[in-house]
Structure 1
Amino acid sequence: MTSSPSDHVGLRERKKAKTRAALREHAMRLFEEQGYAATTVEQIAEAAEVSPSTFFRYFPTKEEVVLADDVDPIAFAAFQAQPAELSPLQALRATITDVFGAMSEDVWEWERRRQVLIASVPELRAAMALRLFDLAEELAEQVAERVGRDAGDFEVRNFAGVIMGMSLGLMSSKGLPAGQPDYRVFVDRALAHLEEGLPL
């Protein structure tokens, strides 16, 4: 029996996913053991038993190992799949419930460790804050598609900006406790507060 081209593609993709996961896990372990600044790409590659050039095929920089968020594409797809009668804010809350609820404990543990590291390393925290600008653009496009408006409309951009501001508040040292395992609860609580008109 011979294997089909799709079998080879599937095997190749599984190997790539396995290598990527190994790089992230070894990187996180080294960051936690010896500090983010003291850890080099060469050390991460050696721990994962690959070359530095292989590392850069998966992550363009060391910080990207931490900042890369695999959940965003899944969340945007889930956002668009929410019932049409839901407002954008209601659709966001439903998306959080659906996507976060489907995440395994292993994924949640990785996210916990990632949040702890970002909160503890100023350069990562600053890079994540800057990344929210790009995410705001993507969210504006997603919201515009859902409501049938232009992504440049004031109300659409304002909505996206408010959501990103909320995210920034949660990731700050004075907001969500770093590494809080119930992150999903805090996000939904923040969205509910926004839906209520931000009463104080």
Structure 2
Amino acid sequence: MVAEAPGRAGRPPLTERRREMTRGEIAEEALRLFVTQGVAATTAEDIAVAAGISTRTLWRYFRSKEECVRPLLAAGIELATECLRAHRRKDGSLADVTVGVDGSDALSARPVEALRDLVRLSRDEPGLRAVWLDAHFDAEAGFARLIAEDTGRSEQDLAVRVEAGMLNAALRIAVEDWALRADRPSGPSLGATLTHALHMVAESSAASARTWLS
């Protein structure tokens, strides 16, 4: 076997990729157990056995059994972020950052199914709810960077942080709304729901600006 050259550009080190694969496998097994037997009835030991690792190893990756699913939640948020990045415009306002986002094709992957299941579970499971909200808390900094890149402002600018918070809240609420309606045959796709929510944010932002300037 030829050893992989260290520091290869554009690709994480092998150990890091293996770590992420392990985290993903643990997350998938944790979700499966949470869905089939409930969160309360699932122990860390159950998840470790299902993932083929020791409980000690599990605790090296995650701080609680509920946090085991965080990679799946983060993947769903990342999909939405990539849709924004791929479709954003560069004129400077929140409306221009959000208008035109579709993403229904990009959001058809397996992480979206996991996201739906987890959001539904989080309604009645405080531990999962905390992980869901914490994942969005971390994502907000990424949205601020995205807005700052497009507008030439600092990530720490108050207006940038407020816009990032609005964007973050819109995405979270849209996903939660979609997750509760996803089984309806005529229900909108996740991409369509995100687009609708982001348009509402853009319209609200523009209306607020008109009010303050009048």
Q: TM-score of the superposition, structure 2-length normalised?
A: 0.70
Distance change in 2, residues 1:5/1:141 (3 Å): closer
Partners of 1:166 and 1:145 in 2: CA distance: 20
Q: Structure 1 residues 40-49 or 100-109, which shifts more?
A: 100-109
Task: Please show how residues 1-200 of structure 1 align to structure 2 within 5 Å.
Answer: 2-6=1-5, 15-68=18-71, 69-72=74-77, 76=81, 79=84, 82-85=88-91, 87-94=93-100, 96-98=101-103, 101-170=105-174, 175-178=177-180, 180=182, 182-197=189-204
| C-alpha deviation, 1:34, in angstroms | 1.8
Distance change in 2, residues 1:169/1:35 (3 Å): same
Letter in 2 for 1:180: A
In the alignment, is the contact (CA less than 8 A) between 1:140 and 1:156 conserved in 2?
yes
Q: Sequence identity, in percent?
A: 30
Partners of 1:196 and 1:89 in 2: CA distance: 7
- The answer for unaligned runs of 5 or more in structure 1 is none
| C-alpha deviation, 1:155, in angstroms | 1.7
Distance change in 2, residues 1:50/1:93 (3 Å): farther
| C-alpha deviation, 1:191, in angstroms | 0.7
SS at match of 1:61: coil
Distance change in 2, residues 1:77/1:108 (3 Å): closer
Partners of 1:176 and 1:74 in 2: CA distance: 15
Partners of 2:83 and 2:178 in 1: CA distance: 24
In the alignment, is the contact (CA less than 8 A) between 1:80 and 1:146 conserved in 2?
no
Post-superposition Cα deviations, 1:87-109, rounded to whole Å, max 9, x if no partner, equal 44433455x535x5334532322
| C-alpha deviation, 1:27, in angstroms | 0.9
Partners of 1:165 and 1:76 in 2: CA distance: 13
Distance change in 2, residues 1:138/1:131 (3 Å): same
In the alignment, is the contact (CA less than 8 A) between 2:75 and 2:111 conserved in 1?
no
Partners of 2:143 and 2:118 in 1: CA distance: 22
Partners of 1:105 and 1:153 in 2: CA distance: 35
Partners of 2:59 and 2:29 in 1: CA distance: 15
In the alignment, is the contact (CA less than 8 A) between 1:112 and 1:179 conserved in 2?
no
Letter in 1 for 2:68: V
In the alignment, is the contact (CA less than 8 A) between 1:119 and 1:125 conserved in 2?
yes
In the alignment, is the contact (CA less than 8 A) between 1:137 and 1:160 conserved in 2?
yes
Partners of 1:50 and 1:118 in 2: CA distance: 26
| C-alpha deviation, 1:44, in angstroms | 0.4
Root-mean-square deviation (CA), in Å? 3.4
Partners of 2:150 and 2:95 in 1: CA distance: 11
Q: Greater relative contact order: 1 or 2 (C-alpha under 8 angstroms, separation 6 or more)?
A: 2
Partners of 1:58 and 1:140 in 2: CA distance: 27
Letter in 1 for 2:182: Q
Partners of 1:24 and 1:114 in 2: CA distance: 11
